[in-house]
Amino acid sequence: MSEKLLVIDTDCGIDDAQAILVALAAPHVRVLAVTCVFGNASVDDVCQNVFKVLAVGQQEQIPVFRGSAGPLLGTTTTNDPCDHFGTDGLGDVLEDRDPRWEEKIQREHAVTAMLHLVAENPGKVTLVALGPLTNLALAVKLDPTFPGKLKELYIMGGNIEGKGNMSLCAEFNFAMDPEAAYMVLEEFLCPTYLATWEYACRNALSWEFFEELTSQDTAASRFMKSVTSRCWAFSRETLSKMRDVHFGPGFVSFDSYAVAACVDAGVVAESVRCPVRVELRGAMCRGMMALDRVGRLGKKHSVTVFTKCHKDRLARLMLESLGHPLKSAEAGK
């Protein structure tokens, strides 16, 4: 299998950490850089979280770039903070943060780093976006030819049924910067793949699998057990109730669904291909993504929206990323 070059753009919270570890563990993948954006935490906390994840994955040589600290227009769809991953994005449990992290961060801004990395490898770089799309939107404004130089784009974000987790109708990453999401889905004409909120929720793994995932005798598994020790109790008891109304119970590591599809196309069992657009107006629907299945938008560019995955393959990738292959055949039950 030929080597796959990735740039990962992340607002590194707990599910981002798991997703990044999936990418680091894939033998045919080389992560060229990690670019950071606000979202699950401040951009400075995100940078520190990325350094910790790279250390756990034993790939500290990967350069890390600091990016956007807020949305394009300074406004989101909600004023409510999102702290179910803790105030630092990794559960507020880490006491060994690197005091020299600012010395290690690259001096170049994340957006210009994206531009030069892709320009140096035209048609070869896959960009994986796991947070608000602010860095990507700025990149296409700085260089309108940027999307055409990408091999492909994978996004964790958006929703297809109007069921929101950040607002009534919008998913978190898109709701945090609706203008950026709109720009990316209008101006990135490269092959684009979306792992949406509903896709992840409808393909949840079991809580028994979560226990197996975080109980392996490896440093990476112990790390995930530590950072999830506080927040997943809240997630299981509170956030899960919100998901259960629409999707049923289960463990969902949202960003892992996008990275898993990127490193193993066989993870995706079903998808739809159509034009999409992000709504920017309205008190309830701002940030919601609409699918155009009948051609009313008149757009020539379509994206691939995942709808169903092979949960056994997803579970295997997640387990292997933390150290050991899948033991249980019950991951998705």
Yes or no: say if 32 and 7 are a contact pair by the CB < 8 Å rule: yes
Domain CATH number, residue 55: 3.90.245.10
26 inside domain: yes
pLDDT of res. 326: 45
Residue 232 is assigned to a structural domain of this protein? yes
Q: CB atoms < 10 A from the CB of 295, how many?
A: 9
Instruction: State the pLDDT at residue 90.
Output: 78
Q: Quick one: pLDDT at residue 81?
A: 44
Which domain range does residue 172 map to?
A: 4-321
Q: Is residue 326 in some structural domain?
A: no
CA distances from 128 to 113, 256, 273 (A): 14, 11, 19
Q: Count the domains in the chain.
A: 1
Q: Residue type at 164? A: G
Does residue 233 fall inside a structural domain? Answer: yes
Sequence-distant (6+) residues with CB within 8 A of 82 are 40, 166, 172
Inter-residue contact 185 to 192 (CB < 8 Å): yes
* Paired strand residues for 4: 29
Coil vs helix vs strand at 70 = coil
Burial string for 210-221 (b: 16+ CB within 10 Å, else e) reads: bebbbebeeebb
Rounded distance between C-alpha atoms, residue 278 and residue 180, angstroms: 10
DSSP β-bridge partners for residue 64: 34
Question: Considering the domain boundaries, does residue 327 fall inside one?
Answer: no
Residue 246 lies in a domain: yes
Per the domain annotation, does 328 fall within a domain? no
pLDDT along the chain (333 residues), means of 10: 93 95 97 97 94 94 97 70 63 70 95 98 98 98 98 97 87 96 98 96 93 92 87 55 60 95 98 97 92 93 97 97 59 46
The answer to whether the CB of 19 falls within 8 A of the CB of 130 is yes
Query: Is 60 in a helix, a strand, or coil?
Result: coil
Determine the residue type at 7.
V
pLDDT computed for residue 52 by the predictor: 93
* 287 alpha carbon, distance to own chain's centre: 17
Alpha carbon distance 144, 90 (integer Å): 35
332 inside domain: no
In the numeric block, which tokens belong to residue 297?
């938008």
